[in-house]
Amino acid sequence: MNSKWYLGFMVLLVAVGIIAQFYFSFASIIVLVLVLCLSFGNEIYRRKGKLDKNQEAVDLLKRKDLRLTEEWKQITNSNENMAYIYQVFSSTIKSFQNSIKEIKRLANVVNETASESSEISKSMTAVNLAVSQGAQEQASDAENSSRTTSDLSDQVEQMLIAIDNMDQEIKSLQSLKEQGNVKLSNTIDSSNVTKEELTHVIQQVEKLKASVNEINRTIGVINDIAGQTNLLSLNASIEAARAGESGKGFAVVSNEIRKLSDQSFSSVEEIEKIIADVNKEFSLVVDSIQVTYEKFEVQQETIEQVNTSFDQIDSTIYSLSSRQGEIRKQMGALDRSRASIMHAITNIAAVAQETAASTEEAASLSMQQEQSNQALFDLSNTLEDVVAKVGETVDNYQVDQENQRTKKMGFVSNLHKEHPFTKEMVSNARKMAQKYGYEFVDKHINNNQVKEQIEAIEHLVKEGIDYLILIPADIDKLAPIVNELAEKQIQTICIDSDIPNCKRVSYIGTDNYEAGKNIGELILKTVQGRGKVLVSATNIEAHNLSQRFKGLQEVLKGNGEKEIVAVQSGINDYHDRLKDIEKAYNKHNDINIMVGLDGDFGNVISNHKFPKEQEITFIGFDNNPDNIVHLNDGLLEAVVAQRQMLFGEMAVKQFSRKDAGKQIKESELLNTYVINQSNAKVLAKA
């Protein structure tokens, strides 16, 4: 009862007493006074009790004791207003203490995040400055290339002028060749006439020589006749001597005949001498003509060879003229290409300058971000100090604490704990879970065995997890496990490999089909000419690896020069897997391209013993530290990299969004990118 009601009640009693004086006896008045005294005394006692309880409450507040002790129970039971005040004040203190704890935790997270962001900003600044420097160097190189291309253009123009001059020289040579052909043809015709005349002379000399031989034979006959005449004269002289005087006339005749015979002998000797001289001269003439004829034949053969050479020169000139036309066409194409190159280099230089400016701006923004992060870090420290001071006051109050359960998040991998594919992924997921206030537990298996993975999940369920991040080892066997977890209100997000036909809430991974196509495109760009391809994977039947294989097949099936001749799969042990690859290679020893669809491939083939004379191009998968080493060592030509280090932290964010009542995506697929031996050096430095 408050004071106003009490005062009104007393006024009412006085009025009743006055009225009673007129209508009741003295005894009644005595009774009325007693009642009034008793009422007044009771109110005084009650007020004194209230004052005592209020003092007790004040004493408890001074001791900062807000626990629901027996004292507070009596106080709150005796006074509804005090009960209300106690309830509101104690709940406010509890809420304030919990808020202080959460603010402290968030301030620590902000500090850590600001520190991480500051480090990232520093790295981004360094990278941007490096990119800017590279862009400026690229612009400078582009300008140098432009000048070189311009010089090349001048040389091309000079070459075109030289080709024109060559064309004129070729035409002059063709004219001279034609004149030479006419003169040579005339010489050949004249030589043929001379040859015919010389042949006729030889024939006439041979005939003359034959006539001389006939004269020799005639002289022989004359000589024989002279001999016979001489013998006849001798016989006539003998017979004339026998006849005596009657034979003197006959003796004179015989004597004259003998003289004639002697003259004939003498003439024959002279003729024989002359004929001998003539024969000797004939022989010399014939020999000279024969030598001349032989030389003439050699000369004619030489003329014919010269004629053949002229024909070859004619053919060569024609071919040279045709090729000169082709050269002109090629030089024209080269000139057009030069113009395109000049345009492209100009664009490259412009883009490089823009890139340099952009990266410089990005570097400035990174520096600004770093300053903002530092300011955020300082503000966070200031907030921590303020919260600490407020907390010192609030924490002094003793209240009945309610146990708040921290939600637990489990991560089950399909690889061993230190595997390079999952090591950074798990670390990032753990950091993100701590930032969002989740307890994080990770489990790993040794041999990619689904049985071991199921046992790890069951162990986490017994520990009391609320969420599960899973890299499934077997889709079919793990689908019912995920469904059972959903019935127990344990939500699952699959990463890297999906279990599509189950009650998982989301899938985060790589667009593996596109990743396979990227591998195929990388093969076409990297390996020139024909190629025989071996594909290796831990398990080609796994959903993610099978999708990569399909994408790879899609690209290569349309290219006749590259074909897959062997597929190696189903082995996890590095040594055994390498032996299986070598076995496939020995069966198809014309293989010159080997492709891995998983992150282990680089480590597997690092100890290969393929023939050195057989050049093999190795292409890997995944951006992990080991593959970067293999790229820098020259073992791997390139790798197609996915962004697996983001999978775990993205899953944590998805669960946090779901806790906040926000909608999450059923799947998030990240793209892949290529790391080659050139940009691997940058990653190694980073």
What is the residue-wise DSSP string for 522-553?
HHHHHS-S-EEEEEE-S-TTSHHHHHHHHHHH
Query: What is the predicted pLDDT for the residue at 1?
Result: 45
Closest of 626, 673, 613, 620 to residue 646, by C-alpha: 673
How many angstroms separate the first and last alpha carbons of the chain?
Answer: 78
Distance of CA 89 to the CA centre of its chain: 66
pLDDT for 345 beyond 70: no
Which residues sit opposite 217 in a β-bridge?
none
Residues 6+ apart with CB under 8 A from 6: 43
Helix (H, G, I), strand (E, B) or coil at 469: strand
Q: Residues 469-493: what's their mean pLDDT?
A: 94
| pLDDT of res. 656 | 92
In terms of Cβ atoms closer than 10 Å to its own Cβ (0-12, 13-18, 19+), residue 212 is middle
Is 519 exposed, middle or buried, given 0-12, 13-18 or 19+ CB atoms closer than 10 A?
A: buried
The mean pLDDT value for 321-344 works out to: 65
Name the CATH code of domain 408-507 (choices 3.30.70.100, 3.40.1180.10, 2.90.10.10, 3.40.50.2300). 3.40.50.2300
pLDDT at 45: 42
Q: Please check whether residue 540 is in contact with residue 569, taking contact to mean a CB–CB distance below 8 angstroms.
A: yes
Is the pLDDT at 631 greater than 80? The verdict is yes
Instruction: Check residues 411 and 345 and name the one with the higher pLDDT.
Output: 411
Fold agreement between 64-404 and 512-643+672-685: no
Query: What mean pLDDT is predicted for residues 179-207?
Result: 68
Handedness of CA 219, 220, 225, 227 (dihedral sign): positive
Domain residue ranges in the chain = 3-61, 64-404, 408-507, 512-643+672-685
In this prediction, residue 608 has a pLDDT band, given cuts at 50, 70 and 90, of confident
Q: Going edge to edge, which strands form the sheet with 506-510?
A: 439-443, 408-412, 467-470, 491-495, 506-510, 667-670
The reported pLDDT for the residue numbered 621 is: 94
Structure-token pair, residue 90:
């104690």
Query: Is the pLDDT confidence value at 41 over 50?
Result: no
pTM recorded for the entire structure: 0.56
Lowest mean pLDDT among 151-160, 543-552, 562-571: 151-160
Least confident of 237-246, 403-412, 610-619, 650-659: 237-246
Looking at residue 38, its pLDDT comes to 46
Note the pLDDT of residue 473. Answer: 87
Please tell me the predicted confidence (pLDDT) of residue 439: 94
To the nearest whole percent, how much of the chain has pLDDT over 70? Answer: 50
Query: Residue 44 pLDDT > 50, yes or no?
Result: no
With a CB cutoff of 8 Å and minimum separation 6, the contacts of 529 are 561
Q: pLDDT class for 530, splitting at 50, 70, 90?
A: confident
Q: What is the pLDDT of residue 364?
A: 61
Q: What is the arithmetic mean of pLDDT over 43-62?
A: 60
Q: Quick check: 475 and 445 in contact, CB under 8 A?
A: no
The whole-number average pLDDT for the span 316-333 is: 66
- Amino acid identity, residue 232? L
> Does the pLDDT of residue 48 top 60, yes or no?
no
> What confidence score (pLDDT) does residue 472 get?
92
| pLDDT given at position 31 | 43
Report which of 126, 128, 124, 149 is spatially closest to residue 348, judged by C-alpha positions.
Answer: 149
> How many other CB atoms sit within 10 Å of the CB of residue 246?
9
pLDDT confidence of 25, banded at 50, 70, 90?
very low
Q: Specify the pLDDT at position 488.
A: 94
Q: Which two three-digit tokens encode residue 449? A: 């065995």
Q: What's the pLDDT band for 580 if we cut at 50, 70, 90? A: very high
State the Cα–Cα distance between residues 408 and 438, nearest whole angstrom: 6
> Mean pLDDT lowest for which of 22-36, 57-71, 244-258, 584-598?
22-36
Question: So what's the pLDDT on residue 526?
Answer: 85
Mean pLDDT of 319-329: 66
pLDDT in tens, 121-167: 666 666 665 655 655 666 666 666 666 666 666 666 676 676 666 66
**Of 104-113, 264-273, 417-426, 605-614, highest mean pLDDT:** 417-426
- Whether the per-residue pLDDT at 458 is higher than 60: the answer is yes
What pLDDT is stored for residue 82 in this prediction? 74
Average pLDDT over residues 648-665: 92
Task: Using pLDDT thresholds of 50, 70 and 90, give the confidence band for residue 371.
Answer: low
| pLDDT average, residue stretch 83-101 | 70
Which pLDDT score, from 0 to 100, does residue 92 have? 73
Percent of the chain whose pLDDT exceeds 90: 27
Question: CATH fold of 512-643+672-685, please?
Answer: Rossmann fold (3.40.50)
pLDDT band at 35 (very low <50, low <70, confident <90, very high): very low
pLDDT-derived band of residue 424, with 50, 70 and 90 as boundaries? very high
413, pLDDT greater than 80: yes
Model confidence at 59: pLDDT above 50: yes
pLDDT value of position 24: 44
Q: What is the mean pLDDT of the chain?
A: 75
Residue among 643, 574, 562, 564 nearest 602 (CA): 574
Among 333-342, 370-379, 445-454, the minimum mean pLDDT is found in: 370-379
Banded model confidence at residue 672, pLDDT cuts 50, 70, 90: very high
Residue 56 CA: distances (Å) to CA of 63, 454, 577: 11, 60, 80
Instruction: Decide if pLDDT at 27 tops 50.
Output: no
Mark residue 528 as left, alpha or beta (left: phi above 0; alpha: psi -120 to 50; beta: remaining).
Answer: beta
Range 37-48 average pLDDT = 47
DSSP for 608-625, please give it. Answer: ----TTS--EEEEES--H
Q: What is the pLDDT of residue 28?
A: 44
Rounded CA-CA distance 622/642 in Å is 6
Q: Phi, psi at residue 35, to the nearest 5°?
A: -60, -45
Query: Residue 34 above 60 pLDDT?
Result: no
Architecture of domain 64-404: Orthogonal Bundle (1.10)
Mean pLDDT of the 381-402 span: 63
Of the candidate ranges 316-325, 558-567, 646-655, the one whose mean pLDDT is the lowest:
316-325
pLDDT band for position 485 (cuts 50, 70, 90): very high
CB 578 within 8 A of CB 605: yes
